Structure 1
Amino acid sequence: MTTQVFFYLLNERFVENDEQVPEQAKQVMYYSLAIGHHVGVIDCFKKLLICDYADYQRFVDTFPEGDAKRKFAGLMKFGEIVIDSSHVNLLAKALDENRANFSPEHQKWADILMDTLASIQREPVMYIMVKRRDE
């Protein structure tokens, strides 16, 4: 049996542009979307990245102690983590500052994550679900 880490991205857009939805209605929409995954709505996710669990642990180990490392290490403790708009600045800064410590493979992951974090910054309804899976 192998253990892998799957990064899924909730990226389906329900709004064509920000001007069409009043701010109050947008907040209700975001709340509805946020609770959606608690009732089994997972079909809106796409696979963003798949990696070996041991390699993910090595990736996490490259980070200095702090909130970013704790966030990424949450996968080992809980089996899944969510990366949403509240984590964008923290993780983008940590990925950028830690780039010199990454292997070439980890640098590719960092590039994917940085692009995705930028997308989440632009559209806060998006988020990443990271899950550990035994196959």
Structure 2
Amino acid sequence: MSETVVFSQLSRKFIDESDDTPDDAQQVIYYGLAIGHHLGVIDCLEAALTCPWDDYLAWIATLEAGSEARRKMEGVPRYGEIVIDANHIVMLANAFDAARAGQTAQQREWSSHMLNMLHAIHQENAIYLMVRRHRD
């Protein structure tokens, strides 16, 4: 059995407008959206980065021991998944940027990709990453 860690990035959102939804229910969905609630909104995530499990563990081990960034990334082995959103971008960007000096070429490539994904979140706060452990 192989294990990987997959970083999925929000690619788009859409409103579930199935034909069998009564008009009254659709109005509740639109009202909810208008006041900031996400009733009936479906997030579409696309895989943006995949790392083999052992390589992921070695990569996050290059982050400063005991740092908030490392604890965040260690959530994947601890809980099976984490969410990275606008609240995490500065902390993680600083940590991955600082760690690049001591990383292998592959780890530096992943860190660069991570920095690009964090930049995308910075540009559009609605974007987020779902990072999950997958067992094949």
Could you tell me which amino acid in structure 2 is paired with residue 2 of structure 1?
S
Cross-structure match for 1:85:
86
Gaps of 5+ in 1: 15-24
Please state how far the C-alpha of 1:129 moved relative to its aligned partner.
0.3
- Alpha-carbon offset, residue 26 of structure 1: 7.6
Q: Cα 1:27–1:119, aligned 2, differ >3 Å: closer, same or farther?
A: farther
Aligned partners of 1:26, 1:89: CA distance in 2, in Å? 29
Q: In structure 1, how many angstroms separate the alpha carbons of the residues matched to 2:10 and 2:89?
A: 15
Question: Is 1:32–2:38 an aligned residue pair?
Answer: yes
By how many angstroms is 1:46 displaced? Answer: 0.7
Whole-angstrom CA distance in 2 between matches of 1:27 and 1:73: 35
1:83-106 deviation per Cα after TM superposition (whole angstroms, max 9, x unaligned): 000000000010111111111111
User: TM-score w.r.t. structure 2 length?
Assistant: 0.79
**Equivalent in the alignment of 2:113:** 112
Greater strand content: 2
Counterpart residue number, 1:10: 10
Seen in structure 2, the aligned counterparts of structure 1 residues 26 and 79 have a Cα distance that, compared at 3 Å, is same
Q: State the structure with more CA Rg.
A: 2
Moved over 3 A (4+): none
Deviation at 1:27, TM superposition (A): 7.1
Higher relative contact order (CA 8 A, sep 6+): 1
What is the number of equivalent residue pairs in this alignment?
117
| Residue in structure 2 matched with residue 21 of structure 1 by the alignment | none
1:54-113, Cα deviation, whole Å (9 max, x unpaired) = 000001111112100000011010000100000000000101111111111111111111
Alpha-carbon distance in structure 1 between the residues aligned to 2:38 and 2:125: 13
Alignment of 1:13-92 (within 5 A): 28=36, 31-32=37-38, 41=42, 44-64=44-64, 65-92=66-93
Structure 2's unaligned 5+ residue stretches are: 15-32
Higher-helix-fraction structure: 1
Whether the 8 Å CA contact 1:11–1:127 is kept in 2: the answer is no
Q: Secondary structure at the match of 1:11?
A: strand
Query: Using the alignment, how far apart are the partners of 1:92 and 1:105 within structure 2?
Result: 17
Distance 1:27 1:115 in 2: 31
